[in-house]
Structure 1
Amino acid sequence: MGCCDFPAVAQGCDGAFTVDSSRITFGRGCLAELGDRAGALGMRRVALFSDAAVAELGIFATARDSLLAAGLDVVSYTDVHVEPTDTSFAEAARFAQEANPDGYVSLGGGSVIDTCKAANLFATYPADLLTYVNAPIGEAKPIPGPLTPHIACPTTAGTGSEVTGIAIFDLLSMSAKTGIASNALRPTEALVDPDCTASLPGGVVAAAGLDVLSHALESFTARPYVHRPAPPRPNLRPMSQGANPWSDLGCQEALRLLGENLEPAVRDASNSAAREQMMWAATLAGIAFGNAGVHAPHGMAYAVAGLVRDFHPAGYPADEPLVPHGMSVIVNAPAVFRFTGDVSPQRHLQAAGLLGADTRDAGPEDAGEVLATELIRIMRAVGMPNGLSGVGYTEDDVAALTEGAFPQQRLLQNAPREMSKPVLADLFRQALRYW
């Protein structure tokens, strides 16, 4: 769709959109370019962030050796917490303050990249954690200026964090996820090497891939940018601008790639072509939602992940309960898209068709159900739990889930329909079980 396909600018709303992204290098083997890229950015002392699992892989040695070969001093931090918390962010920030690097490299999934973003921020502009956190949970104060250069190297086809200015974490005191959103957090460069996903187990590929799918779907169906209130000044235009012509391009291609490649990539680790296409879909969807924003499935997911009690997914560390981010999002998605289908039925049907659904006989009144049915089919095909009940929740948890999701106003206000507390409660009930 182009600009002319969007509604007219609503009174008091914005008539323009902004496109931002990290510089991107994509291709097999490009991780070996890391040292040259870092040197070109003026880095001399580099903080290399990763997690304990990735640090044992050959790709960590590849990254470190490339930096050392370029004559750079490297200090490593491999204690990143899977699904970061306010505590783990603070520990990473202390490391960064003591190491005093002039550049950062993150090698890992979204948890690693987000932790590196936070460490960079709080080492550069020390403050209480909630100073920069999204309102109403935090103060949402603007980041005072630019951060130290950061090269992000994703090892999962999922979060898109390598091209966004968003860092997500669990706020332990609230048992809910929240985050910091600012263009200043966006990594300077991204090295996207599909070879980094070769060793991932199918369950991790599935959860990460469904996060990509949700990024694309939510950005594509978000309220149009011309329905967002105009900012008081142009430089205050938010990253979550709503669906726009630029984000639509990435969303549509990402959905097409996911429809063709998600299931093969999950089933067969040796299918390098499918995993490469998944990596490209993740990058496209990351750029899209980094400029359009996601909405209700992600807002609900923060409560689903934050209130987990005893769920332990295959392929992830078993030392503590965990609902992986992509899983916590997708369990809400069919219920949400059933609800939003009548707002933009053509977009919902187009998305379903790109994912593989037969939409030839579907009318506008069928849009939400057709898309929800296709999502449920994909969930079952890649081994996702049966809704919220599959990760340990019951009807008794609906009130707590609703209270945990409602503060995520940055996301909920981007939805095409109002997400009041009664609406959220009803959506959580519908998401308890799908089959």
Structure 2
Amino acid sequence: MPDAKIFYGWYIVGACFLLCFLFAGAGFYSFSIFIEPIEKQFGWNRAAISLTMSIYLVTGGLMGPVHGRLIGRFGPRRVMLVCAVGAGACFVLVSLTRWLWYFYLVYALLAATVCGMGVVPVSSLLSNWFDRRRGTATGIALVGISAGGLLLAPMVGLVTAVWGWQTSFVIIGLMVWCIALPVVFFVIRDRPDQLGLVPEGGGRSVYGQAEAGGQTDFQALGRPAGEVLRTRAFWCIFLSFFLAPMAQMGVLQHQVPLIMDTGMSHAYASVALGVTAGVGGLGKLSFGKMADIWPFQYVILLCFGLQILSVLFLLTTQTPAGVWVYAVCFGFSMGGVIVLLPLVVGHFWGLLSYGVLLGVLWVANAFGGATGTFVSGLVYDWTGSYNNALYLFAAAYLVAIAAFFAAGRPGRASGPASF
């Protein structure tokens, strides 16, 4: 039995950390490592290969609202168990790729399963367990995303260099089965009351909100999804979290070849990718804590602003030292986006419709990331350089900042103003 002096929610945080480790390290951080080997083996151009990740991100985004509703009906634990089984199988199936259409199809199935143990279910679960320190708990759990990039991406790069990319996918699939399944089965619990506990901070869980009756509880706990979706503020934030992930993923998913274009080796670029992801862990912790104590708009400004500076710096650097400056700055600020996305729902509209609203915003995140990933490959194929794509992404961050500020302050944005 866990130590009674330690709130069980922190064990949930640890379990979510491991799930995010697999979700990110296996799901999308490693993809950049496979671009060049797959290009060499099959002769597919980078735009075609990049489209695979775009399909992955779009499918994962569309599954966000679906996972949100399934979690509301069956609970996070059941959804995570089923998706862990499916994700492991899909990783193994990727290793059998011979045709581009098959690659696209299996990656779409992979997205539908991997995302079922990723940010949407993890954030919904932690919102059920934490109240006062929700931002901190979410930040700690989502550091698993950075750890996946820091540890798993270089490991995948090494395995790929020695045994080939097909072996890497088989090993990733086995890791998902061996880590995710026991963690979900033995540690994850949907609600504190299943263990005779209450949420940290004494607040009410998301499930408790859904079951609460009465107009007072309804108003105190948040806004209904239908009402929120009719507000200008929601769609301003939707645009913001489309553009920022578009720029972020457009850079991140091509970071290895981007760095190689500065004259660095593939191995060096893979290590830099791991550093970017690792520093992102510090960013997740920092931005999660900032969101608990600072005005949300200024946290967004810092997060997106640092990414603009990083992208512009990458455009001008041609030295190993410059690559490390970029990797640290971009990694730190990039870590904030994935933490701030789920937290923005509670800050602006409460927890009544948390799963549904987060699922809709996850669509923006996914479609943005898919667009950026594909655009980077397309621009490279057209021009032989990533420079024009980087200028486009810097501009996208600026518009994302403006859109977020146009949404207004959280307390006011959740009000009745609509189109």
Higher relative contact order (CA 8 A, sep 6+): 2
Query: Which has the larger share of helix?
Result: 2
TM tier relative to shorter chain: under 0.3
Query: Which has the larger share of strand?
Result: 1
